[in-house]
Amino acid sequence: MPWRGVTVSEQRQRFLEDYQLNYYPVTELAGRFGMSRKTAYPGLTTRAGKRIGRFEEQGQSGFHDHFRRPHRSPSQTAPAIVQALVELREAHPLWGPRKLLELMRRRHRQWVLPAVSTAARILVRQGLAWSERRHRRAHPRCPKTVPPGPNRIRTDNGSHFASSTLAWLSQLSVWFIMLGIYPELPVLED
């Protein structure tokens, strides 16, 4: 016989149906369904302890999870600060959040201003900033030539081929140069 999976919602519904039949006390029911007494018991006010209470108040929709997102955030940035930040950015479109906050700090000394990262997120949310992707520049000693054929030596910047001395040359690199072989760093192809 194949095993039939039971979802959490189905298990909660079975628990509440058994609770309505009133054959078992809440503590025993909770044990049968693998939950703690706190989770099941209607008199407790914890988030998990509201199963039976929610079912009695809301009916069948009461056994589903409620959103855990808070209704309000006490540490949310004040709308006046957001508006002032947006106005400053519109007046100075090339300034970043650090410079904008510094100007706001001078103008409004009594305000508690957000962190630089928060100001950056506010600007992105308002469509006034974007994240620029940084481009890696080529190494200054990167070869500019393309090899015309095989047998041309290209090296990496490992300890055998490069060092922290003058001109970044190791003993092996100097020996190659004396033989007429000029070591080059590899060119990265995109």
> Residue 37 carries which side chain, given as an amino acid letter?
R
Listed residue (21, 54, 20, 16) closest to 35, CA to CA: 16
Helix axes 8-21 and 51-58, enclosed angle (nearest 10) = 80
Which has more confidence, 106 or 24? 106
Number of Cβ within 10 Å of residue 48's Cβ equals 12
pLDDT at 153 over 90: no
Beta bridge partners of 154: 184
Separation between Cα atoms, residue 126 and residue 119, nearest integer Å: 11
Q: What is the pLDDT of residue 88?
A: 95
Band of the pLDDT at 19, cuts 50, 70, 90? confident
Band of the pLDDT at 148, cuts 50, 70, 90? confident
pLDDT at 30 over 70: yes
Which has more confidence, 17 or 188? 17
Query: Model-level pTM greater than 0.75?
Result: no
Give the least confident one: 38-42, 91-95, 125-129: 38-42
Number of Cβ within 10 Å of residue 16's Cβ equals 20
> Residue 115 carries which side chain, given as an amino acid letter?
A
